[in-house]
Structure formats: C-alpha cells, structure tokens
Amino acid sequence: MGSQGGFYQSKEFLDLVKSIGEARSKAEEDRIVLNEIETLKRRISEPDIPKRKMKEYIIRLVYIEMLGHDASFGYIHAVKMTHDDSLLVKRTGYLAVTLFLNEDHDLIILIVNTIQKDLKSDNYLVVCAALNAVCKLINEETIPAVLPQVMELLAHPKEAVRKKAIMALHRFYQKSPSSVSHLVSNFRKRLCDNDPGVMGATLCPLFELIARDVNSYKDLVISFVSILKQVAERRLSKAYDYHQMPAPFIQIKLLKILALLGSGDKQASENMYTVVGDIFRKCDSSSNIGNAVLYECICCVSSIYPNPKLLESAADVISRFLKSDSHNLKYMGIDALGRLIKISPEIAEQHQLAVIDCLEDPDDTLKRKTFELLYKMTKSTNVEVIVDRMIDYMISINDNHYKTEIASRCVELAEQFAPSNQWFIQTMNRVFEHAGDLVNIKVAHNLMRLIAEGFGEDDDNADTKLRSSAVESYLRILGEPKLPSVFLQVICWVLGEYGTADGMFSASDITGKLCDVAEAYSNDETVKAYATTALMKIYAFEIAARRKVDMLPECQSLMEELLASHSTDLQQRAYELQAVIGLDAHAVACIMPSDASCEDIEVDRDLSFLNDYIQEAIEKGAQPYIPESERSGMLNISNFRNQDHHEASSHGLRFEAYELPKPAVQSRIPQTLIASTEIVPVPEPMYPRESYQTTMPSIPSDAGSAELKLRLEGVQKKWGRSTYTPATSTSNSTSQKTVNGTSQGDGASTVSSMRETYDSRKPQVEVSHEKQKLAASLFGGSSKTEKSPATGHKAAKASSHVVEKSHVPKSSLEVASEKATPAQQPPDLLDLGEPTATSTALQLDPFKQLEGLLDATEVASAVNGAPAASRSPDIMALYADTAAGIHNKNDADLLSGLSNPSVTNMPGTTAMPQVTQSSSKGPNPKDSLEKDALVRQMGVNPSSQNPNLFKDLLG
Amino acid sequence: MIKAVMVMNTQGKPRLAKFFDFLPVEKQQELIRRVFGVLCSRPENVSNFIEAESIFGPDSRLVYNHFATLYFVVVFDSSENELAMLDLIQLLVQQTLERCFKNVCELDIVFNYSKIHTILDEIILGGQVLETRSTEIMRAVEEISKLEAATNAISFIPKSASSWLSR
C-alpha cells in the first residue's frame, strides 16, 4: 500500500521508517539514524549505482535531514542528480536540493547552468521542475542568469508553466525588487491571461506591489472589480468551485487588493460597493471557506471609504460569527470587530456579552485576540477594568514574549488613561512586580519622572501625598522576595529622593532598607549603584538639614565593601558618598539640593565661572590656553610642559582622528563640556582618558542611536551623582525612543483615535448580574466623545511647546530624525494633555518633548553638563587646597585638551555641514511639526495604511 | 505569504517539513519542537489558530488541524486569511491525499515522502497558493507518477560520483 501511485520505495526504506517509528527513545532513534547515515555514505559513493537506487538514497537523505541529522555529505549527489536526463531522477534531484540548500550555498553555482537548460526544455514537466527550483534557489546574483528564460515562459502555451513563471518572477521581485523593476508591468499583462488560474496567480505579486505603492495601481480598480464580479457570478468553470464556492481563494485575494486600493479613496471605493454587497448576500455562511470570504469582505469594508449599508452587512456577519459555537468563527468575529469599531464604534456595544464570553474562554488564542480588542477600545471610563484584567492574565501566563507585550500595553494604557495617581502607581507596581524584567527600562524612568514631577498643576500638596504613598507602598513591597531589578531601581530612586521628605520615616529607617536591598541583591550592580546613590541622597539631605548623621553599621560595612569593589562605578559612588558626608551643610546643599531632580539646568557654555580660577592659575605661572586653531599636532593630555616637549611626546599618544579638519564649532561645545566638566569634580588621572574614550567613538554617528546610547551610558557611570539620575534616565530613554518611536507612535495614535470616536452606550439586555456588571464597566460609562478639533489644538500646542523648548540649534540630521520618529509623538503628547487624564504633567514634561527632537547628545549635555558647570566653583574650591600649582596648570590643560580633541574629532565632514545648516534649517522642524499637527487635525494619520479620514463624518 | 508547512504526529515526530524561506536544519528542528509544544498543550474543541509571533517572529500566525495521529500545520503572515489556510489544509488532506491514498494514514505520508512534496509543490509555490483545484493537482501528480512507472527500467548512472566530482 505504501507504493500506491507509483512513487515506489524499497523495502530498506520501509524498514528504516518502521524502526525509527518504533524507537522507544531519542537515543535509540539517533542510533538507528547514525547507522543509516553510515550505510548511505558507503553506498552512495559506490560506482555505477542504478538510478532508481540513487533516487531512493537521496530520498532517504532528505528524510534523515528532516529528522534533524546532518546529511551534507550527500548534497553533491543531489546536485548531480539534477543534471540527469531522466525526468524522474532530475525531479528527485531538484526536490532534494530545494530542501537541502539555501540560495547562497556554494553548490548552487553547479545548478544554475542546469536550470538554464531545463527552462528551455520541450517537456513542460522538466520546465516546471526547474521553475520550482528557481523559486527556492536563485538569489540576487543569479537572477540575471535565468531571468530571460523565465520571461519567455510567461508566454508558454501550458498554463501550469505560465503560473509558475509568474511565481518565479514574483520571487525575484521579493528578493531583489530592483533587478526586475522594469518587468513588473508583465504582472499587469498576465492579469488578462485567458486562463483564470494564471490570472489568480498574478494576484499574489500584484497584491504585494499594490501594498508597496497604492497610487500606481488605482487604474486597475475597475478591472479588479469586474474580475471579482465575474468570479462571484460563477462565470468561471465549475472546476474552480471549492465547497460550492466559486474560486474562493481568488475572491479572497481580490478583496484584499480592493481593501488596499479603496483605503481612503472615495472614488475607488464607490466602484466596489456593489460587488462587495453582492458577495455579502451570496456568500454561503455554512462552509468554512464561505466564512473566510465573508471575513475578507468585512476587512475590505472596514478599510475602504465607509458605506453605511455595507457596514450594516458587516455588522450582521460579525454578530453571526460571534454567536457561532465554532471558536474559529468567534476568533474571526473578534478580529473583525476590532477592525470595524474603528469606523463604527457603536457596534461593539451589542456584542459586549459575546466579548466577555471570549475573555473567559479556555482557548488562549481567542483570549489574546479579545485582549487585543479591549486594548483598542480602552478609554478613561473603562481603563481600570481592562488593565486589571490584563494584569491578571499577564500573571497567569508563562510565555515571556506575550507577557512583555501585555505589560507594555498595560503601561501604555495606564499612562494614557489613568484616572488617578494612586491608581497609576499601584498599577505600575503590579506590572513591575510581575513582569519587571520584561518591560522597557524607559517605563521605569517614566515612573520615576512622574513621581518626581508630580502631576503638574500647582497643587504641591497632592504631589507630596503621591510621593508619600509611593514611598509607603515601596517600603511595604520591599518585604517581598525576589523583586525584578528594574523595579528595585525605581524603589531605590524614590526612597532616595523622597524617603525622608515627609518626615514619616527617619533616615535610619530608609537607609536600613536601602542597605538591605544592596545586600539582598548583591550580584546586581545596577541595583547596588541605585541603592548607594539613594543612600548618599538621604545622608546629604540630613546634612543639609543640619541634622546629625549617624551611619548605620550595616551601611558602613556596605560602604567598605563597595570602596573595594571591582566595579569602578560602584567604587566611585562609594567614594563620592564618603566625600559628601565629610562636607559642611552649605556645600552639601549645593551638590545635592533636595527634590531638584527635575529642575531645569542651565549650561554655561563659555565656562565663565572658571575665569577667576584660570586667572589665578596663570598668575601662578600656568601656561595660558592655546585655542585649537593656533595649535598644530595634538596635545598631550596628561603632561605637557613646553611646546617642544609636547611635539616630541605627542607621537606616543597619537590617534588618527586628531588629524581631521577642525570645524569652528560653536554649538557643539556642550559636548565637550560633558567630558571636561566631568573631570573637574574628581580630578583623578584616569578619568579624563576614560571619558574621552567613551565620547570619541560615539560622536561621529549623530544618527546612530545605539552608539549614542553607548556613550550616554558612559556618562551615567561617570556621573553617578544622585541628583542627576533623572537626567541620565532621560538620555537613556531618548535613545530607546528613537528605536521604538515609530511603533509606539502608531499604537498611540490608533488608540487615541479609538477613544475619540468611541461613544458610550445605553443600558443593555438582561443577563447574569456579574457579566452585566463587567460589561457595564467595559462598555458603559458616560465619557463624552471627544472632538478631534480639540485634539488638533492640543497637538498644535504640544508641538509649539516642543519648538520653544528646543532652543538648541538643530542639525539637518535632527530634522530628518524628527520627521522619521518624533513626528509621531504629538498624539502621544496630546493624549496626555487631555483634561480628564490626570497624568497631564507626565506627558507635557519637557524631557519627553525634548526626546527625539533634540539630538540625544545635546539633551544629555544640556542636562548633565550644566549642573556641574554652575556648581563646580564650589567643588573646585574644595579641591583647591590639595591641588598644587603644577596640578592647577594641568587642570587647565586638561580642560583644553579634552575639549579640543572632541571638537576636532567630531567628524569634520559631518559636523561641519550640520552646524552650518543648523541656522538655515532652523525653522524647518517647526514647520514640519505644525504641518503634522494640521494633518492630524484633519484626521489623517500618515503612519497608518488606512487613515481614519472619515471619522468625523461618521462620528 | 506562507512561511512553512509542517506535518508531525501526535508524538511530535516530524513527518514532513517544508520551509519556504531557507532555515538551517537545527533551526527547523527547534521550530518544529516549539510548535509541537504549543500544539500538545491546546485543549480540545478550541480554535485552530495560534498566534505564533513568539516562535516565528513578528507577523506570523499558525493554523493547524488534527487528523487521526497527525497535526498539519501552516505558518503564514498577515497577507493570508486564517480560515482560508484552514481550508488549504483540508484541501491537501481531504481532497488530495485522500484521493491519492484512500484512507490516508501516517504511514502513507512517511512512505511517500517525495510524492507529498510533489503535491505540495503543486499547491504552494514560493510561499504563495498557486493551485486549489484538486482535479488539477491530481492530474499533475498522475502525470509524474506515470513517468515514474515508465522509467522503471533499470538504468545506470554512467559515471561514479567521484569521477564526476573530479571533473
């Protein structure tokens, strides 16, 4: 029976399969297979093997490889089989190579020639076999070798060949659009092929082409509609029927194409209404494939310019799906509902009970789909219920991928719609507790910032309360074992900033807890660093308040441990802590002002505060600073005494980057300030070098966020000052923002559009009390529909705000990146600016708006550089005693040495144009932002494929 | 586009695997194992769809169907319709394999490995559904079968592999 159909296999193969099937353990199976491999290796290289045998060996090899074993020794034999004259052997060879080899395999070169020959064969089966191989094995480089033949085959008399040739051409297009871009018109031509099968095959490449560029194919709308009409009216031969449906796969593809073409195009959509309506009516909803077509109709209807009648039909089908017993149909129903509520939100209400049923269904797939739907319909009235449910579900699952997704959605919803601060913090705590290591670190930084800034408004009292409650909840949560690292960082930071602020807890309470944390999570350096900095803050606040500081014994032992730590970061923090504790109240208050984490920081770019100090140094005989333009060669950073010596020694430390042309950069100086100011407080010889090195590689790539991030991390480590932690977090999140910006922006905008149009509804039908309650909380509520004009206003306001904030000149690159990413931000921002959401402040906070708008470096420099700059006189004074005359001189040199190299090393080529352009391009970002705001006001979301252009009309 | 078609038995043994974009053998094995892990944890009477993003990366869905001792799995992206993919499995199993083998069973698939591949090649090419008429598929397969029967006469491969290699 195994040999039915003529695909004969030998007894040996049957035995092999059987013995593998009967193997009781993986080890036994492996043994059998290894044995087989040995046999095959021996046999396959014997001379004069009968073709039949050879074919069977190759099939056995394929089988072995499918089981996960290496069969590469036989690849060459498979390749050789493709050269055979016998179709049977050749086909087997092609099958084997398509399964064995990837398109870049070395052996492909041996096949290309054969393929070329076979494509010209008279036997269409040979041609088909070759085309199969072409689809799998031809890569960008080899496309030209077979392209002419494939093009000829598009006109082959056999329809099976034409179909496959189209697929091959499509494959070429996927692999290298440019290599066949001049040939795409052939797809259009083949659309008129007189064989429906070929026409159907053409739809695949056309779908992809249209998805990439809708506008060039608008002229085909009429053709597609008429084809769909003919198919739906059963004009095709009976052979195309499938379960009594006329060519359903062709219908589905056509509907998908129409959905793309009709999206946001009223005129095109009007051509489609009749045919889609017909299909709705004619479709057989009892078969699976009939429902597939119906579902595709709904997708189409929700994508094209809305038509009330079609929407009604779509809603009917959805309710049929949702009422069905089949989970598959329920799933499709939920998915379709998610699409349709975008344009007619009121239909969600009639299905609320079905939705809740799906939420409690044992089917995980269905549940997830339902959560997706809920996510789309969240608004401020139901956010509590939805997020609560999502978190419960998140806790219940193990799949990290999905856990991460839900966690980030919870965070997103909570940030947007939080009804109260209390709730927000509690929600975040839950998310962090259960999925802390999975959420983006940025979320943690946002939370810290929120707590630090409070909620805007002038109600300091409320902010204080919020902080107290946060501190209280964190002290409680610290009792739990095994908290995620990110969460601990938040906790440490908040305890450090606000632990003692309201006087409820004494410094020793808080420091005790912090020491416990550092001890309990002793192998997590980041947490330890946060804890150390928090300790420093607590002590600094105590000193500043002129209270007596008693260091707890455990704290002392922790410090001793850290002073000898292998991590330079921890070590530095510990030393800083030690130094701060030894200072007097006034100095401490300057270094570590209380609750100043979100104060604006001014950068003194000219370092004018150093003038006195320099004057003094020069009077003592120090060398004056030589501007870089007046110097030749490079500076020896650590010790240069005179010009000659400098010239001589410079060879030892030469870096080629110093040779670059020197731009006269004014606006870039802040960058150098980071480096230079860093060394001022802690004049340890290793620092300048280190910071210099971390700065260097990153500067050349202004656009490369990954590298920027790298550098910023370096900065953070260097700084280690608690007051500046939020600043560091901002810069970190900036770089992340650039990475995720687009997708987040998308999500946010969809959600906001949902919320704007989604309206609340009247009371519901009678059902079990509990469900009714849930339904009411999910779907009910009395939120008003927000009008989009308000949105537009907000966007404009937000963007102008942003522009105001960004007083640092922008480079052309920044302008570009602004278009790419932050252009998506405004919806985000305006959602936060919404009056009902209390989290206004969070969204309007300047850091956030700066993100992406400013070059990350500049944000960092603006924030990091300034405090040190303005405060360093104090610190300088502190260290002045220890600094010897020569030392002073070196300091000055250090500064200059540091600032100059980094200026020079800024890619002369890129930095220059940026700076020069920055002045002329200045207004551009503003323009683009305003344009964006305007576009949004009109309801067009440029980032999505289906702009909700007509939301207002339907609203 | 369709990313992969897999057939595995209820013990998780792969019976057929066809990936339309090349993947190294180890990766294929891993994916099959993970898919099986998800499949066998599914309760009875639930939907045939699984969100497969955690296994196959973004924008991937999975449809499976269970026949006797076999799972048939199709992995695809958002340009395909889930229900239609479910029907594609039906088409493969009930309209094609059934006709080829009459009461198709796991052994048929194992023993006629290359034939199943031939059938699949007729239905799906380069990740796109090419043919859904079972009569056409059957006809194409029959033609190849006939050819196979015709060349049953034993012939020898003229040169040994080694001599060919040294060319």
Predicted pLDDT of residue A382: 84
Whether the per-residue pLDDT at A867 is higher than 50: the answer is: no
Predicted pLDDT of residue A741: 39
Structure-token pair, residue A419: 């009804």
Highest mean predicted confidence (pLDDT) among A100-109, A757-766, A938-947: A100-109
Predicted pLDDT of residue A148: 92
Kindly tell me the burial class for residue A230, based on how many C-beta atoms sit within 10 Å of its own C-beta (0-12, 13-18, 19 or more): middle
SS3 assignment, position A766 = coil
Which chain B residue's Cα is nearest to A288?
Answer: B83
Q: Average of pLDDT values for A553-562?
A: 87
Predicted pLDDT of residue A644: 47
- % of chain B surpassing 90 pLDDT: 34
Q: Average of pLDDT values for A399-428?
A: 85
Choice between A827 and A323, residue whose per-residue pLDDT is larger: A323
Give the pLDDT confidence of B2-22 residue by residue, as tens digits: 999 999 988 888 889 999 988
pTM of the model: 0.65
Rounded CA separation A343/A327 (Å):
25
Lowest mean pLDDT among A193-202, A416-425, B81-90: A416-425
Q: Average of pLDDT values for A815-828?
A: 42
Predicted pLDDT of residue A926: 59
Predicted pLDDT of residue B76: 94
Q: How confident is the model at residue A376 (pLDDT cuts 50, 70, 90)?
A: confident
Distance from CA of B113 to the nearest CA of A (A): 8
Please answer yes or no on whether B162 and A47 come within 8 Å at the CB atom.
yes
Question: In chain B, which among 84-103 make CB contacts under 8 A with chain A?
Answer: 84, 86-87, 90-91, 100-102
Question: What ipTM does the predicted assembly reach?
Answer: 0.89
Predicted pLDDT of residue A352: 82
Kindly tell me the burial class for residue A392, based on how many C-beta atoms sit within 10 Å of its own C-beta (0-12, 13-18, 19 or more): exposed
Q: How confident is the model at residue A228 (pLDDT cuts 50, 70, 90)?
A: very high
Q: Which amino acid is at A546?
A: R
CB contact, 8 Å: A59 with chain B?
A: yes
Rounded CA separation A619/B42 (Å):
82
Residue A537 structural domain: 440-596
Predicted pLDDT of residue A952: 41
Choice between A499 and A697, residue whose per-residue pLDDT is larger: A499
Predicted pLDDT of residue A255: 95
Q: Average of pLDDT values for A488-494?
A: 89
SS3 assignment, position A24 = coil
Pick the residue of A9, A255, A289 with the most B CBs within 10 A to test the interface with B by mutation.
A289
Whether the per-residue pLDDT at A879 is higher than 90: the answer is: no
Give the pLDDT confidence of A539-555 residue by residue, as tens digits: 888 888 888 777 888 88
Give the pLDDT confidence of A34-46 residue by residue, as tens digits: 999 998 998 888 8
Choice between A939 and A81, residue whose per-residue pLDDT is larger: A81
Q: Average of pLDDT values for A319-324?
A: 91
Backbone angles phi, psi at A582, to 5 degrees: -80, -5
Give every CB contact of residue A952 below 8 A, 6+ residues apart in sequence.
A788, A939
Distance from CA of B57 to the nearest CA of A (A): 10
Give the pLDDT confidence of A124-165 residue by residue, as tens digits: 889 999 999 999 999 888 999 999 999 999 999 998 999 999
Cα torsion angle, B102, B106, B107, B112, sign: positive
- The answer to whether residue A460 is domain-embedded is yes
Q: How confident is the model at residue A812 (pLDDT cuts 50, 70, 90)?
A: very low
pLDDT mean across residues, chain A: 72
Whether the per-residue pLDDT at B36 is higher than 90: the answer is: yes
- % of chain A surpassing 90 pLDDT: 19
- The answer to whether residue A795 is domain-embedded is no
SS3 assignment, position B75 = strand
Which chain B residue's Cα is nearest to A163?
Answer: B130
CB contact, 8 Å: A7 with chain B?
A: yes
Predicted pLDDT of residue A659: 56
Predicted pLDDT of residue A802: 41
Cα torsion angle, A310, A311, A316, A321, sign: positive
Rounded CA separation A635/A654 (Å):
9
Lowest mean pLDDT among A196-205, A366-375, A545-554, A716-725: A716-725
Which chain A residue's Cα is nearest to B51?
Answer: A365
Give the pLDDT confidence of A301-313 residue by residue, as tens digits: 999 999 999 999 9
Q: Average of pLDDT values for A639-646?
A: 48
Q: A68: which chain B residues are within 8 Å (Cβ-Cβ)?
A: 25-26, 28-29
Predicted pLDDT of residue A283: 86
Backbone angles phi, psi at B19, to 5 degrees: -105, 130
- The answer to whether residue A715 is domain-embedded is no
Residues A663 and A906: beta-carbon distance below 8 Å: yes
- The answer to whether residue A491 is domain-embedded is yes
Which chain B residue's Cα is nearest to A104?
Answer: B22
Tell me the C-alpha to C-alpha distance, in Å, between residue A183 and each of A31, A128, A154, A170, A422.
52, 21, 11, 10, 61
Choice between A768 and A538, residue whose per-residue pLDDT is larger: A538
- The answer to whether residue A565 is domain-embedded is yes
Look up residue A785 and give its DSSP letter: P
Choice between A863 and B54, residue whose per-residue pLDDT is larger: B54
Query: B14-19 and B2-9 as β-strands: parallel, antiparallel, unpaired?
Result: antiparallel
Lowest mean pLDDT among A16-20, A556-560, B35-39, B97-101: A16-20
Predicted pLDDT of residue A657: 62
Please answer yes or no on whether A102 and B101 come within 8 Å at the CB atom.
no
Predicted pLDDT of residue A498: 85
Whether the per-residue pLDDT at A798 is higher than 90: the answer is: no
CB contact, 8 Å: A399 with chain B?
A: yes
Tell me how long chain B is: 167
Rounded CA separation A335/B51 (Å):
13
Fold of B2-155: Beta-Lactamase (3.30.450)
Choice between A636 and A218, residue whose per-residue pLDDT is larger: A218
Which chain A residue's Cα is nearest to B154?
Answer: A50
Tell me the C-alpha to C-alpha distance, in Å, between residue B155 and each of A90, A621, B165.
14, 100, 21
How many helices (DSSP H) and strands (DSSP E) are in chain B?
Answer: 8, 7
Question: Among A486, A480, A474, A375, which Cα is nearest to A426's?
Answer: A474
Question: Among A473, A435, A470, A577, which Cα is nearest to A518's?
Answer: A577
- The answer to whether residue A452 is domain-embedded is yes
Q: Which amino acid is at A603?
A: V
Give the pLDDT confidence of A251-292 residue by residue, as tens digits: 999 999 999 999 989 999 999 999 999 999 988 888 899 999
Kindly tell me the burial class for residue A99, based on how many C-beta atoms sit within 10 Å of its own C-beta (0-12, 13-18, 19 or more): buried
Please answer yes or no on whether A50 and B130 come within 8 Å at the CB atom.
no
Predicted pLDDT of residue A511: 87
DSSP, residue by residue, B6-71: EEEETTS-EEEEEESS---HHHHHHHHHHHHHHHHTPPSS--SEEE-HHHH-SS-EEEEEEETTEE
- The answer to whether residue A591 is domain-embedded is yes
Q: How confident is the model at residue A329 (pLDDT cuts 50, 70, 90)?
A: very high
* Bridge partner residues of B19 (DSSP): B4
Question: Among A534, A423, A438, A440, which Cα is nearest to A478's?
Answer: A534
Q: How confident is the model at residue A119 (pLDDT cuts 50, 70, 90)?
A: very high
Predicted pLDDT of residue A227: 93
- The answer to whether residue A66 is domain-embedded is no
Please answer yes or no on whether A6 and B149 come within 8 Å at the CB atom.
yes
